């Protein structure tokens, strides 16, 4: 007759590790420094020729109408002729009263546009004008101090949340390891690695 030994593995069970997702801003820690030192930003910060790139397969007259309609809706597509860099611009349309972002009245035959966005981790603003008939013009990128300050504050807040999550996980892990050691009658027990929160860019 064979005897059967039953072992309990309850004390060795590791509870599922919690996973936290922390949203991180899309900016780099030192935006201004990158804007001033990055070669692409240096080139795009110089006033240079730009062109409307939408509806290339359509006749010029139709492209003109579509460009003007898109501007009045608050968006357009342009490219820097010197570098081939394409930008999708979004801005407040004239109907909102914010003429500084899209102004058809500042200069006859032209539309003046300003559009803020994040590019390669840096808060920037495109500023320039486009001829309403030729669909070309001139513009440049500027460092957006105001938005950069806001994004820096978001980055700092997100890092604080991340560090709090890490400390919380480490505290829970330490308590679990102590309980595990007591349950198993061990004085020296190995550490269980802590899974740090997953940082998700948005």
Residue 94: closest CA among 85, 105, 83: 105
Output the pLDDT for position 29.
87
Output the pLDDT for position 41.
97
| Residues 27, 31, 37, 40, Cα dihedral to 10° | 40
CA 145/CA 168 separation, integer angstroms: 35
The total of other beta-carbon atoms located within 10 Å of residue 63's CB is 17
Backbone φ and ψ of 187, nearest 5°: -95, -30
Fold for the domain defined by 32-144: Polyomavirus Enhancer Binding Protein 2; Chain: A; (2.40.250)
Output the pLDDT for position 72.
94
CA 79/CA 139 separation, integer angstroms: 10
Q: What is the mean pLDDT of the chain?
A: 81
SS3 100: coil
Quick: pLDDT tens for 151-182. Answer: 878 877 877 777 777 777 777 767 667 666 66
Question: Which range is least confidently modeled, 31-35, 53-57, 166-170?
Answer: 166-170
Q: Residue ranges per domain, the chain?
A: 16-24+150-201, 32-144
CB 71 within 8 A of CB 111: yes
Mean pLDDT of 12-25: 55
Output the pLDDT for position 152.
77
CA 193/CA 60 separation, integer angstroms: 63
């Amino acid at each position: 007759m064979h005897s059967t030994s039953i072992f309990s593995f309850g004390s060795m069970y590791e509870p599922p590790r919690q996973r936290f997702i922390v949203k991180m801003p899309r900016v780099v820690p030192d935006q201004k420094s990158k804007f001033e030192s990055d070669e692409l930003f240096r080139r795009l910060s110089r006033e240079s020729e730009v062109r409307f790139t939408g509806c290339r397969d359509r006749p010029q007259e139709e492209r003109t109408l579509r460009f003007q309609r898109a501007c009045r809706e608050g968006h357009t597509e342009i490219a820097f002729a010197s570098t081939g860099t394409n930008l999708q611009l979004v801005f407040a349309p004239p109907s909102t009263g914010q003429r500084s972002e899209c102004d058809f009245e500042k200069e006859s035959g032209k539309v003046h546009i300003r559009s803020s966005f994040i590019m390669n981790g840096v808060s920037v603003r495109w500023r320039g004008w486009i001829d309403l008939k030729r669909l070309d013009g001139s513009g440049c990128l500027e460092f957006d101090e105001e938005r950069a300050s806001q994004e820096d504050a978001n980055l700092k807040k997100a890092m604080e949340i991340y560090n709090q999550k890490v400390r919380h996980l480490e505290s829970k892990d330490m308590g679990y390891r102590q309980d595990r050691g007591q349950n198993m009658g061990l004085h020296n027990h190995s550490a269980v690695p802590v899974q740090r929160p997953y940082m998700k860019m948005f």
